[in-house]
Chains A and B, each alone.
Chain A
Amino acid sequence: MAYSAKKRWATLGSALAVAFAGLAVVMWLTRNHTDPVSVGLFRVALGLIVVGLGMRSYGYMDEVQRQASQKRWLWGSLIGFAAMLPVVVSLQTHELWLDAGVQFIFRHPAMPRFYFSLGVMVPVMFQVLSVLVLRLLDKPSRGSRS
């Protein structure tokens, strides 16, 4: 796929919109006690669509942007993983206030506790946050227009 800034941002925006809309639907379905298998299948379909759109967005980058993106994801993932460890170790202490705090951030009161999803979401969130920080730090040095 050839470079196209418009198509890149359009597909990335679509991926984010679909992801957020899909998560809202998942929460609504869960709250209404929909069959867990149906919700699971919906989640898988949602994940495939979001990943597909994300890959299309990646395809519309030019090679330099891809290089920068790969570096950011490599370092961002490693930094995010390292930053996550203290949180995970703290959770292992089974401090009730800490457990309640984490559940308060990630869980709707109407939903059951979802430790497995937390196990996936916590590292991914740390990694994504680290990538976003690296992206912000990289911005000023790439701003010259002369």
Chain B
Amino acid sequence: MAELLQFVFSGLTVGAIYALVALGFTLIYKASDIINFAQGEFVMLGGMTTVFVAHAGVPLPLAALIAIIATTAIGLALHRFAIEPARGATSVALIMITIGASIFLRGTAQIVFDRRFHSLPPLLGADPIQFGGAAILPQSLVVLGSATVIVIVLWLFLERTIFGKAVIATAANRLAARLIGVDTRRIVAFSFAVSAAMGAIAGVLITPITLTSYDAGTLLALKGFAAAMLGGIGSAPGAVVGGLLIGMFEALAAGYLSSNYKDAVAFLIILIVLVAIPQGLFGRPKIERV
């Protein structure tokens, strides 16, 4: 039992990380149908900027705040200088642009920062919490809690505010949204800014567990994207559930089957789920009204 519990704790730890990264994909997708493959780089920038600003002598909470603001600015810049000039292009072309942006951000980070691995101190100390013969780090719970808070805030924002409704309207039909007076360009820019901020928050929170380096974003984005797809892209609760499920698959596969095949097992299950439910667990099927 203790070992099963330990595998579950590991699944929660890894899953919470994927969930937090996956959440960043949802808002941009909701507002613009774009899957932003530079989302992993936002996570990396959050972690790396905090490390370097803190290293320069700034207190850690302030350093984290600076990192989040800086990453938000980069998110806005990405929209202003890469996405906005290409407006009218197909989603696929815009997704290509985000892939290009991710390569650019990674390369720049390598020069601005360095090529080494870095860590941050955990929020609630490094002593593991013992429970039923298994151990979990407090930081894992922090990550999980933050993902939950973000889901609630996002839901309140989208459902309960006019601005949130405008985001949904933009996603549903951009032309119609513009006709009723929604500034869709501002909505998309806003979604990039908030997604970048969410990525940066994720970076600050997960770095104590995962460590970070200039190229940390690639794999995080891949796993986060898989989590978002599994949960139903565009759905915030789906992103969290998807992330937790993938983390759990991986941990159980590593524990009970073979650690060599844990990624394969996780992706196989994703494949099966998506064949059965193409829109993902929480996704709404797209219905074309004629």
Q: Do A and B assemble together?
A: no
On B, residues with C-beta under 8 Å from A are: none
